[in-house]
Structures are given as structure tokens and as C-alpha cells.
Structure 1
Amino acid sequence: MTGGGDPVVRRDRFSGGPARSFLSSMDGDGRIFEADLAVDRAHVVMLAEQDVIGDEAAAAILGALADVEAAGFDALPPSEDVHEAIETAVVEAVGRDGGKLHTARSRNDEVAACIRYRLRADLLDAIEVVVALRSALADVAAAEAETVMPGFTHLQPAQPTTVAHWALSYAGTLARDTGRLCDAYGRTNESPLGAAAFAGTTFGVDRERTAALLGFDGVVANAADAAASRDFLLEAVSALASVAVTCSGLAADVVFFANRGFVEVSDDYASTSSIMPQKKNPDTMELVRATAGDAVGAQQALATTLQGLPRAYNRDLQRATGHAWTAVDGVTSAVEVAAGVVATAG
């Protein structure tokens, strides 16, 4: 029966060797610590409801998980990854019954669920800041509807336009970027739990129940697809890269406009020079502009890691996930700064 192995034997057999640190993902797993606890709780509740494990064992495991959460990620025992570390802590707390936490489950569907659970929250944060930037641009357009400015082609003055027209051109692109992020969220928000290693489990699990407990919209129907696919990561990072490219153009315009004296960036978003204090540099927007390189690089790195993988779980995927975190963190921060610059510029 898939997912029914003895966790104590498994840990003892594969706990040493010179490659342990190379295989470990613990340095980056703090990001999905809370997600793993949520996934564990939903799985245990479902197992108890399905009479796969007893209520007493389920209660003991849930109590141990509460203690693990209270102690925090840094208190976890040394392990190959956060999933194994939490399981080890539960077994140490409640004995061999703690191993029932892993019944009918593989780390393959577990980690996929944790990534989706965390990424969907990050995507909502990204959507929120993009909407805030769109709002800031709309406010500028409303305030500057009749403010004339030169329009440029090839950075040469070409035709008269208005500040509102310029601002709403970016708001329109960002609206489509928002749609792309929402699409990525929808395809991320599906549960892979119950897929086990890649072919499901003979235990009588209820996949829809764990999906509902975790707030997923539904399940990934095919078990191999659920455990092995990371196209949702690629879609999310691609959407984030599109946002970053949009914002790089906005940032380039603001830097250029500041050079021409058309706009003054607020002191909160500018700096000066250590040797030329008369200067006011719009350098936050230079960093916003550069974020596109980081995001597109993450997109390329992720696609390169995923290409050519056989249809099964492969350890390469452990290296893939970090590119998504790099993109979502960098782009969200950059968009938040861009919104602040637009809202406060004079």
C-alpha cells in the first residue's frame, strides 16, 4: 500500500552519507513551513474521517503538530527537508503512532501541495500590489487629464499628448498583467494530495475533502500530473516576468522624465551622491527597471530545469521551486515601490 512504509526504518537507513547536505532543502524550506503544517492537518483530519487512522492517533498527531508550530521552524530536528523534519518531530513526541501522519501519502504529493498552498498566497500579494499601481496611475490620470507633455518615439519629441494618456497606457498593460496573474492563481489553486508518489494509493482517501479543507478549488485529477507537474510554477513566473517587463518600461520613463525635469521623485524614493550632494537620483526606479532581468532570468532558469524531465517526480524539481520564490519576491517588492513612486511624484 503506497504511503504505508515505516518512517523510523526509512529515516535510520538513509540518514547518513557524504551527500546528505547536498540533498537537503532545509535552507530554503522555512518558506513552506506553515504550508506543510496546514497540509499535514488537513491530511490527518481526512484520514480520521475516513477511518484510515483512529481518532486517538489523529488527536495525538494534531497536538504534536501544534507544538511543532509553536516551537517554530528553527526548532525542527536536522533533516533532509521540512516534511521529514516535521514528521520526525511528531514521531518523537507521540511515538510510532506519529508515523501514521504519512499514511497514504508520499513526499511527492505533499511537497507539491505545500508549494501550491504557499504560491497562491504569494500570487494574491502580487495581484494586490499590481492593482495598487494601477490605482496610482489612474489617480495621476484623473489629476493630470489636461496636462500636456511631449510624446516620444526613439526618445525624440514626436507628438503632444497628456500625462493622463501616458499613465493610462501603463494602467492598461497592467490590467492584462493582472489577468495573467489571476489565471496563474486559478491553475495553482488545485490540490495534488492523494496522488502519493505518482500513481495514487490503495487507502480510501478523500481527495476532495483535503482540497476543501485547504481551500483549494478542486483536485489535479491525474495522479502523475499532480505529483510531477510544475507547469503552474512556470505560468506564475511567466506572468510575474510580464509584470516586471511592464514596470521596467514605466521605470525607464520616470528616470528619463526626471532627467528632463518633467517629474520630481519624492525624497522617500530617491537618493543623492556622496560626492555630489546637489544631485537627486531616482534610483529606486533604476532598481525597478533591473528587476525585469531577475524575473526573466528566473523564468529561463525554471524552464531550463523543467525541460526534458521524465513524467515522474525527479529531484531536479527541488531546484526549480526557488526560481519561483525569487521571481515573486522580487517583482512584488518592485511593483510596490513603483506604486509609491507614482503616487508621490511631483
Structure 2
Amino acid sequence: MTEESDPTDSSDVVRRDRFSGGPARGFLSSMDDDERIFAADLAVDRAHVVMLAEEGIVAEDEAATILSALDDVESAGFDALPDGEDVHAAIETGVIERVGDVGGKMHTARSRNDEVATCIRYRLREDVLEAIEATLGLRGALAEVASERAETAMPGYTHLQPAQPTTVGHYLLSYEQAVARDTARLFDAYERVNQSPLGSAAFAGTPFEVNRERTAELLGFEGLVENSMDAVSTRDFLVEVVAALANLATTVSGLAEDLVVFSNKGLVELSDDYSSTSSIMPQKKNPDTLELVRATAGDAASGLNGLLTTLKGLPRAYNRDLQNATPHAWEAIDAVSEAVAGGAGGAGAAAPGGGGGGGGG
């Protein structure tokens, strides 16, 4: 469908229907990953339709009909969507099923290219804020225990060898400062995520007089990705977020490793809530939670590598490879946020042991 055409024109429907079947449809589909951006897509659809009505591109009564249908689609939920290559097409089909051909006008002056880029950024903002919240929780837990153990002596290590005496508070605040930098990196990434690509259409804009600033305002974006070709093709904001997460996971992995070692040396005793035992050796207390936190750094690093490898060498503008790029970010942010939130609880889950003066953290 060309951007100049009427979305309800029958010839356009015929052209699109040519590609609606065949053995490759399942391979092309992203529906398994798209539930995450279902709410984001509905928000983007609503903002776009409101803008179309305000600019006189779509009649107000038609816009109201479409918006009502979107409410119905939302109420029915993701699982009730009709079959489609992706959530964007499925929602559009669901709207058309409810209100007829007028529902196709929702896609006027828009491509799936700028639509999906906007949905990813819209949802990713929420995820980045949750990751930031997890870092703040961890920093608070570290600072609290550090304050309680400000005078508790412990051996400090270099090369895993006892080196100089220090305090538990000094040790824990070294990680609090590292996590503070990770927090700052996520805030920096958020700033660049929070830019709207909507209105760029396929990659070269649209002849319709759209108001990009208005849709950005409605969706809470701080500004626009100005160049339309860059707007639909770039995923550097994903790279930046995942890189910040990989760094954060590496920081937390170091903390987890320290606590595993300290537990082995008898400097700390881990809480039962963060440990497990063996099915054949019940006398053991295994630091399983810390080991899984430690492993998250590998997950995040592999996600960053996968993302960069997918993006390497892609030509401008949009390429379907990008469909496989986004799950790397979702997986990394889920794994790291969960590990950091667990670390916030685990920071206070170690008590001074009997081996060498204090522990904790």
C-alpha cells in the first residue's frame, strides 16, 4: 500500500492479500514476541488516530469509531487477536472486523516501520525505568547494611589473597558507587530512547500533513528522531540500553562472586531464603541464588553480542532482520532487572560468620 493511497481502496486490499498465506507466514511472524508491545501498540494507534482527526486527515466521527474499536480490542486482550504476521497487523485486522473498512483509515500516513519503532521505544521506556528502580533498591540495601556495619572489620583481598584490613561498610559502598554509575548509564540511555520516530512512515516520510510533534506529545516522548530514514532503521538505542545492562550485570556478578567466596571462607552465612541444599547431601547450604545472579552477566553479554551481530552491516533503511534484534533487548532487561532486584534482597541476606571478623553484604 502506498502512503498516498486510500487505506480502504479494494485494489490495495487485494495486493496485501496476495501475501497473506503460504508456508513462510509462520516463519515471518513475530506474534510470539509481540505480546510485550500490545499495550504500546494500542497507545500508538490512539495517538496517531487523534492526530489524524485533529489535522483533518480523517473525519472526527471516523476517528471516534476507530478509537471505540481499539477499546474493544484492548478489552478482549492479546489472546483474542486474529491471526497476523505481527501485533500491528493483528490489531488493525481486529479493528476492521469490528467497524468495517473505515478501520483501515487508522493506518493512513503511517507504515509498520515507524509504528514498530515507536512501540519498541514506548515499551522500552517503562522497562528501563524498572531497571533503574531495581538499581536504586540495590543501592539502598547496600548503603543500609554498610551503615550498620561501618565499624565491622573484615579482611580485604587482592588476587583472592588476604591483603589489608578494611570494614564491611567500606567494602559494600564500593559496590554502591559502581551501581550508581550503572544507574547513570541507564538514565543516559533512557534520554535517547525517549524520542519519537512516529510520522516517518516507511522511511521517506508521507505526503500527508501529519503533526509529529503532536503524536510525540500524546505519547509522552521528549522529542523527535528528526531524520525519517534514521528514525525507522536505527536500533542504536537498543544497543545502548543492553550495553548498560551488561555493565550492570557485570557489577552485580562481581558482588555475587564475592559473597560466594566469603561464604566458602566462613566470613558470611547466607540466609536460607537465598540458598538451597543438596538432594543427597542435606548438610550443605548452596549459594544457588548468587550463582544464578552471577550467570546473568553471561546472559546480558550474549544478548549484547547477538544484538550487535544482527545489526552489523544492515543497509538503510528498514530490514526484516530488525525483527530479530528486539528480543535480545527484552531478554536482557528481564534477566538483569530480576537479578538486580534479587541482589537488593541478597545484600542484607548475609550475616557475619565465624571465620574472620565480620561479613555481610
Whether these two folds match at TM > 0.5 is: yes
- Give the aligned partner of residue 2 of structure 1: 3
Range 4-13 or range 83-92, more displaced:
4-13
Match of 1:265 among 270, 281, 288: 270
- Give the aligned partner of residue 324 of structure 1: 329
Q: CA deviation at 1:3?
A: 6.2
Asked if the contact 2:271/2:350 (under 8 Å) is kept, the reply is yes
SS class of match (1:151): strand
Asked if the contact 1:187/1:232 (under 8 Å) is kept, the reply is yes
- TM-score, normalised relative to structure 2: 0.94
AA at the equivalent of 1:201: T
Change (3 A) 1:3 1:301: farther
- Give the aligned partner of residue 354 of structure 2: none
Counterparts of 1:1-346 in structure 2 under 5 Å? 2=3, 4=5, 5=7, 6=9, 8-346=13-351
AA at the equivalent of 1:217: E
> 2: distance between equivalents of 1:33 and 1:119?
13
> 2: distance between equivalents of 1:44 and 1:92?
17
Alpha-carbon displacement from aligned partner over 1:81-111 (angstroms, at most 9, x marks no partner): 0000000011111111100000000000000
Asked if the contact 1:149/1:161 (under 8 Å) is kept, the reply is yes
SS class of match (2:100): helix
- Give the aligned partner of residue 357 of structure 2: none
> 2: distance between equivalents of 1:10 and 1:295?
42
AA at the equivalent of 1:2: E
Asked if the contact 2:293/2:339 (under 8 Å) is kept, the reply is yes
Question: RMSD over aligned Cα, in angstroms?
Answer: 1.0
SS class of match (1:157): strand
- Give the aligned partner of residue 359 of structure 2: none
Asked if the contact 2:4/2:207 (under 8 Å) is kept, the reply is no
Asked if the contact 2:195/2:225 (under 8 Å) is kept, the reply is yes
Range 267-276 or range 81-90, more displaced:
267-276
Change (3 A) 1:167 1:179: same
SS class of match (2:347): helix
Q: Tell me the percent identity.
A: 68
Asked if the contact 1:3/1:105 (under 8 Å) is kept, the reply is no
> 2: distance between equivalents of 1:166 and 1:274?
34
> 2: distance between equivalents of 1:69 and 1:315?
27
Alpha-carbon displacement from aligned partner over 1:209-236 (angstroms, at most 9, x marks no partner): 0001001101100000111100000000
SS class of match (1:158): strand
Asked if the contact 1:220/1:226 (under 8 Å) is kept, the reply is yes
Alpha-carbon displacement from aligned partner over 1:247-306 (angstroms, at most 9, x marks no partner): 010000010111111112211111111111111111100000000000000000000000
> 2: distance between equivalents of 1:180 and 1:48?
39
Asked if the contact 2:233/2:317 (under 8 Å) is kept, the reply is yes
- TM-score, normalised relative to structure 1: 0.98
Structure 1 stretches lacking a partner, 5+ long: none
AA at the equivalent of 1:170: Y
> 1: distance between equivalents of 2:198 and 2:227?
11
Structure 2 stretches lacking a partner, 5+ long: 352-361
Range 6-15 or range 156-165, more displaced:
6-15
Change (3 A) 1:3 1:324: farther
> 2: distance between equivalents of 1:20 and 1:206?
34
> 2: distance between equivalents of 1:243 and 1:10?
48
Q: CA deviation at 1:345?
A: 2.3
Asked if the contact 1:125/1:332 (under 8 Å) is kept, the reply is yes
> 2: distance between equivalents of 1:9 and 1:131?
53
Q: CA deviation at 1:10?
A: 4.5
SS class of match (1:149): strand
AA at the equivalent of 1:128: E
Number of aligned residues: 346
AA at the equivalent of 2:157: F
> 2: distance between equivalents of 1:181 and 1:23?
32
> 2: distance between equivalents of 1:37 and 1:8?
22
